[in-house]
Structure 1
Amino acid sequence: MLSFGLSIFIILLLFIIFREYTNEKKYQAQRDKKRSKHAPKVKKTQDITSASATTIKSTPKKPLTSHALPEANYPQFTHQRLIEMGLSNDEAKVFVQELIPQLEMQIPLIHKMLYLADFHQMERLTHSIKGSATNIGTGGVADLLVAFNTYLKKGTDIDIAKAYFEHLKQYTQELKIQYS
């Protein structure tokens, strides 16, 4: 009788694990679908090497390369998420003011990894502050960090990473002004 009960328990446990696994896969698929709908708009630019238009003889030209640089037109950062969780406006502002030094600490580290073209380390650094920013609020630096971190997971174009980094510095500065 004990082995029968144990067998039933194991079967139920396996069923629960399987169900959680399938629910997680569905959740991830829905999340990816939502993210692809709200992906940041990118602007195409071309690097064109200068060639003299007045010369008649043909000179070898470098191939054109195009980069899809992020525009980063995110709405202003808001700490509404913290207020919805029950914090007062003043308490929520304290959390945001604690986020700013975290961002300022990570920016030089990200810059160093950008210089070394170490995309894996940049992804790890942006991931750590992305969590803090998205837990506190939405828009601005939080949305930028989500896009930057998502790009770094698979992207390898240093120009795009530099553009995201410049936007990160800009949005961090805007956050400092907004909450000072």
Structure 2
Amino acid sequence: MIILGIDPGLRTTGFGVIEKLGSKLRYIASGTIKTGSEGALPPRLKVILRGVSEIVATYRPDCAAIEKVFVNVNPQSTLLLGQARGAAICALVHSELDVAEYTALQVKQAVVGSGRAAKEQVQDMVARLLVLPGLPGTDAADALGVAICHAHSVDTLALLKALTPGMVGLSMKRGRLV
């Protein structure tokens, strides 16, 4: 299974592509889509939409995962990040991909083992887990972390879906299915 991870950002959107082979993970590609820090919002969103579409066309992932937006101190920044995330999601669903969403806490927990891990710890563990020759950039590392998180979760999600046909809105609360 080929998984595309996305770390959305208005200036820089990170992407990471990995392959899940049983319990093993293999690095395929990673990088960033840069929109710059200046200019009108619509053309910058178009860059993200086209960039994600090109990545999907190039690597042909089976599924995608994206980081959820956290509520920032600055509401304007949160809104802009949400629009960048929306452009990326539109590109993914337009390509007929299933899209999973994970919080930064979930990603850090899956990659490092601690939801309070620093960016440098995520970079280091991503490099170790994927046997990379060096550290990826922070945005690419975060996107690879999202893909790794999904790789660890996808089997459990499929099992839950198979065991609970017709149930909608399953969620976990304090480690229990509710």
Alignment TM class, shorter chain as reference: under 0.3
Normalized per residue, the structure richer in helix is: 1
**Greater relative contact order (Cα < 8 A, sep 6+):** 2
TM-score, structure 2 length as denominator?
0.26
Q: Please identify which structure carries the higher strand content.
A: 2
